[in-house]
Structure 1
Amino acid sequence: MPSCAFVTFGCKINQYDTQAIREEIIDLGYRESDVPVDTDLVVVNSCTVTERAGEKVHERVRSLAGKNPRATIIVTGCMTEDDRDRLNEIPAVVHLIGNEEKHRVAEVVQGEALLDKKPGRKSRDIFSLEVSDFAGRTRAFLKIQDGCDSFCSYCILPYLRGSSRSREPDAVISEASRLAAAGFKELVLTGIHLRQWARDLGVEDGLATLLSRLRHIDGID
């Protein structure tokens, strides 16, 4: 049985996405290990919101490549959008998968071809990743939004994650219900800019209405 490991940097959205990718790769027959220097596959979900964050990712990927040269290393997340050339200099990195294609990591592991996309303006394929569990945690993250339309002068995220896109309300409720049924009493809604949730869906009072619906799910405190 091939082995895999996951290394996550950055925000709660990345933690959610890593969990979703983990579940898909485990379903392919991989066995997860906590020791990435001794596995067949390593998936690194990167962050580059600050210069130091990007340095940490680069240092870790180089270290993994040196200590485990036989591994297939896949890097996804924000650094693949911001500093792709630098990552390409590391010979052991087999695939760089941008945020827009993050939901296809498991397909790439199976040998599917990958298109090089920049963050899109309209695509909601980013929400095709779902989670069913957060092992070892008492609360679960639930991704409801990604991207940002604010373009603050100090922030690079709109350029790395694209425009604000919202997960459909019924899809949010469906996943929340599954997580509650799995025993999670507390859910942490995650997004790049939660106040922008549902604006692109044309839903009035979106976040307030969603919170009200979530409160009525059995098992959620």
Structure 2
Amino acid sequence: MKVSVLTLGCKTNLSESDLFKSAVIEAGHKLASLEEQPDICIINTCTVTAKADYQCRQLIRKALRKGAKRVIVTGCYAQHTPETIRKISPQIEVIPSDKKDNIINMLSDNTSSSLINIPRARPFVKIQEGCDFRCSYCIVWKVRGRSRSVPQKEIIERVKALEERGYLEVVLTGTHIGLYGKDISPEVSLYGLLVNLLKNTKKIRFR
């Protein structure tokens, strides 16, 4: 099966899309471009601005024009205005941002979320998602929800796997990484996470 994964928006989205791509490969499927008329096209969207919403709709329509047999739209735009997306075409399947893990489960029985075949010198590793602040000018807290930290053990395992594959640097990303660990009991800080990462890795650098 041919699967295309397209991403708009932030580094957190890019990190999540890397997991989708890994699930595709682990399941024995082929990553493909839109030009190859994929069986499934997954579009990970953004909704920070009106322009971002417009770009999402453009990309969705492009995927349909290129002949993708199944179009799955997820991400912040899908979370914020799912009905607007569904009106574009009945062919579209909308999966809200808070249900993204369902895509990995759909693509592969292996849900270990290991990161493989990342086409960047500095892969992104998501350590946190969501925001506890309620800024009136920002929509992110509405579509991403409250801050949720990725367990330290899971982050360390991902980074070690990347180091074993030869990566020399990773970018730790999230919606508001300064909130990392505040929802974990016992509470841990971003500094504490970095200390543990350095203890469990050899030469890899962090941004």
Identity of aligned residues (%): 29
User: What amino acid is the match of 1:169?
Assistant: Q
Aligned mates of 1:201, 1:44 — CA distance in 2:
31
Aligned equivalents of 2:123, 2:54: Cα separation in 1: 29
Counterpart-to-counterpart distance in 1, 2:29 and 2:128 = 29
2:70 aligns with 72
The worse-fitting range, judged by mean Cα deviation, of 98-107 and 39-48 is 98-107
Change (3 A) 1:106 1:177: closer
SS in 2 for 1:65: helix
Scaled by the length of structure 2, the TM-score of the pair is 0.89
1:160-199 mapped onto 2 (5 Å cutoff): 160-199=143-182
Is 2:205 the partner of 1:207? no
Please tell me whether the aligned partners of residues 76 and 99 of structure 1 are also in contact (alpha carbons under 8 angstroms).
Answer: yes
Q: CA deviation at 1:28?
A: 2.6
Per the alignment, residue 89 of structure 1 pairs with 87
| Secondary structure of residue in 2 paired with 1:6 | strand
After TM superposition, give the deviation of residue 64 of structure 1 in Å: 1.6
Once the two structures are TM-superposed, the CA of residue 90 in structure 1 deviates from its matched residue by: 2.1
Are 1:46 and 1:79, in contact at CA under 8 Å, matched by a contact in 2? yes
Unmatched runs of 5 consecutive residues or more in structure 1: 111-127
Q: How many residues align?
A: 202
The equivalent residue for 1:118 is none
Aligned to 1:124: none
Q: Which residue of 97, 100, 111 corresponds with 1:99? A: 97
Structure 2 CA distance, aligned partners of 1:158 and 1:210? 23
Return the alpha-carbon distance in structure 1 between the equivalents of residues 127 and 64 of structure 2.
Answer: 34
Q: Structure 1 CA distance, aligned partners of 2:162 and 2:43?
A: 25
Residue type of the partner of 2:26? D
Moved more, 100-109 or 167-176: 100-109
201-210 vs 17-26, greater mean Cα deviation = 201-210
| Correspondence for 2:3 | 4
Match of 1:45 in 2: 44
- Residues 180 and 188, structure 2, Cα contact 8 Å, conserved in 1: no
Q: Is the 8 A contact 1:74 1:94 kept in 2?
A: yes
Distance 2:152 2:167 in 1: 19
Consecutive unaligned residues in structure 2, runs of 5 or more:
none
Partners of 1:53 and 1:23 in 2: CA distance: 26
1:130 alignment counterpart: 113
Alpha-carbon separation, structure 1, partners of 2:159 and 2:107: 28
Calculate the TM-score normalised by the size of structure 1. 0.84
Distance 1:204 1:82, change over 3 A: closer
Q: Is the 8 A contact 1:145 1:191 kept in 2?
A: yes
- For 1:141, the aligned partner's letter is F
Q: Does the C-alpha gap of structure 1 residues 205 and 32 become closer, same or farther in structure 2, counting only changes over 3 Å? A: closer
Question: Secondary structure of the residue that 1:43 maps to in structure 2?
Answer: strand
RMSD: 2.0
Deviation at 1:63, TM superposition (A): 2.0
> 1:16-49 CA distances to partner (integer Å, 9 max, x unpaired)?
1111011112333321112356211111001111
1-side partners of 2:8 and 2:84: how far apart?
17
